[in-house]
A and B are shown apart, each in its own frame.
Chain A
Amino acid sequence: ETGVTQTPRHLVMGMTNKKSLKCEQHLGHNAMYWYKQSAKKPLELMFVYSLEERVENNSVPSRFSPECPNSSHLFLHLHTLQPEDSALYLCASSQDWTGGTGELFFGEGSRLTVL
């Protein structure tokens, strides 16, 4: 099993659809993240879940809704998206880095296209 697994790898959806992206980490980490990678923008941190704390980027629209049922799973629920939401969505995990390297482990991403 790879460290961080994302499904689906590719998703095409209409603006009125509801879909979810899933992330699973097999590394025993206690923090998980959603990043958005658009063609012409830097990687943007959307959400962080750490030790049951949720941190949000206030600029993320409410049509994106995260869910973290446990330390190994992270979801991104998508609803009424816009074409400009088309991007690569990357999930990452890390261990509380007291004594660690501070490294984030990334999945391969979910490529989302909104029609």
Chain B
Amino acid sequence: AQKVTQAQTEISVVEKEDVTLDCVYETRDTTYYLFWYKQPPSGELVFLIRRNSFDEQNEISGRYSWNFQKSTSSFNFTITASQVVDSAVYFCALSEARVQGAQKLVFGQGTRLTINP
């Protein structure tokens, strides 16, 4: 069975600090996809990134970076120089690798991130 664990329920930092959100996953699949989504107060989940299990390169997008380590089954998300607008709930998710068809994402419990001015 697939499982995603986000051990940090809530994180609160002061603006401009760097913050890392942890994600640990479990799967028996040899190929799979990992995702991060952001949920602002408005409610909708916003896609941030998808990572294939066979691609362990870290990725950077502006102030966001992701560290995928297959050896430890982790897919951590770092925000550099955090801003108040980064305040949201962040979800890590996992799905089997499917060539086509609907996806069935398994989500972690989410981490509520609060950036204080």
Q: Give the interface of A toward B (CB within 8 A).
A: 4, 31, 33, 41-43, 45, 48-51, 53, 55, 88, 90, 92, 94, 96-98, 101-109, 111
| A111 and B44 alpha carbons, distance in the complex (Å) | 12
| A111 and B46 alpha carbons, distance in the complex (Å) | 18
Looking at chain B, what size class is its interface with the partner chain? Answer: 20 to 34
Q: How far is the CB of A7 from chain B (nearest CB, A)?
A: 13
> Which B-chain residue is minimally distant from A103 (CB atoms)?
B47
- Chain B residues, Cβ within 8 Å of A98: 99-100
User: Across the interface, do B101 and A31 meet the contact criterion of CB distance under 8 Å?
Assistant: yes
User: Across the interface, do A42 and B4 meet the contact criterion of CB distance under 8 Å?
Assistant: yes
Given A42-B4, A102-B33, decide whether A97 and B44 contact each other with a Cβ distance below 8 A: no
> Which A-chain residue is minimally distant from B4 (CB atoms)?
A42
| A56 and B1 alpha carbons, distance in the complex (Å) | 16
User: Across the interface, do A33 and B45 meet the contact criterion of CB distance under 8 Å?
Assistant: no
User: Across the interface, do A101 and B4 meet the contact criterion of CB distance under 8 Å?
Assistant: no
B91 contacts the other chain (CB 8 A): yes
User: Across the interface, do B44 and A107 meet the contact criterion of CB distance under 8 Å?
Assistant: yes
User: Across the interface, do B103 and A97 meet the contact criterion of CB distance under 8 Å?
Assistant: yes
> Which A-chain residue is minimally distant from B98 (CB atoms)?
A97
User: Across the interface, do B44 and A45 meet the contact criterion of CB distance under 8 Å?
Assistant: no
User: Across the interface, do A104 and B47 meet the contact criterion of CB distance under 8 Å?
Assistant: yes
| A99 and B106 alpha carbons, distance in the complex (Å) | 22
In chain B, positions 94-117 with a C-beta closer than 8 Å to chain A are 95, 98-110
> Which A-chain residue is minimally distant from B40 (CB atoms)?
A108
User: Across the interface, do A102 and B99 meet the contact criterion of CB distance under 8 Å?
Assistant: no
B50 contacts the other chain (CB 8 A): yes
User: Across the interface, do B105 and A45 meet the contact criterion of CB distance under 8 Å?
Assistant: yes
User: Across the interface, do B100 and A97 meet the contact criterion of CB distance under 8 Å?
Assistant: yes
User: Across the interface, do A45 and B42 meet the contact criterion of CB distance under 8 Å?
Assistant: no
30 A-B contacts, Cβ less than 8 Å apart? A31-B101, A31-B102, A42-B4, A42-B106, A42-B108, A43-B93, A43-B107, A45-B104, A45-B106, A48-B102, A48-B104, A49-B102, A55-B102, A90-B44, A90-B45, A94-B102, A94-B103, A97-B103, A98-B99, A98-B100, A101-B50, A102-B95, A102-B103, A103-B50, A104-B37, A104-B45, A104-B105, A106-B45, A108-B42, A109-B44
